[in-house]
Structure formats: structure tokens, C-alpha cells
Amino acid sequence: MGVTAQASILEEESSKFLYHYAGKSLAEVMDTNIRGYVQSALWKEFGSLSLTDGKAKKKEIIERVQKETREFFAKKRNYD
């Protein structure tokens, strides 16, 4: 299943990004950390479903994984 993701770093959060991902570009983080997280989450969701059920629940699953991914990576920003 193909999924598209996009990200940006707000200027006021750039120091936290650099702290967590020193030396990596946002593209590298997207290709490694975020892609891996999303693939794993989607595998957990779709892995136990039949093809028919997966197609029927695709929108619901994608929305849930999107929310979980945002929450997971937002935790890395919020420890002031």
C-alpha cells in the first residue's frame, strides 16, 4: 500500500529537531524514522485483516495511523 507523508519544522522547534536528529536532514528523518514507524503501524493494522476488510477499513486505518504518528513524534518536541 502506498502512503504519502510530508513534514516541516517550525522555526521555533528547529533546536529540538537538531537535538534529536543531529546531523540528519528532514528528508533523512522522513526516510528512516518516520517511514519505519508508519510502515510498522500499518503492518499491525492491516496484517490481521483480509483483503476485503482491509479495503473497507483503509480510510479509518490511515486516519488512525496518521494521528498516532503525529502524537508519537510530537512527544519529541514537548519536554520543556
pLDDT, tens digit (0-9, with 9 covering 90-100), for 28-79:
999 988 999 999 999 999 999 999 998 999 999 999 999 999 888 887 755 4
Q: Which residue has the cell 537538531?
A: 18
Q: From residue 32, how far is each of 13, 37, 56, 63, 73 by CA, in Å?
A: 20, 8, 29, 21, 13
Burial class (CB in 10 A: 0-12, 13-18, 19+), 19: exposed
Grid coordinates in use for 23?
A: 546531523
Alpha-helix residue ranges (DSSP H) falling in the chain: 14-20, 26-29, 35-46, 51-74
What predicted TM-score, i.e. pTM, was given to this entire model? 0.75
pLDDT, tens digit (0-9, with 9 covering 90-100), for 3-34:
788 888 889 888 888 888 888 999 999 998 89
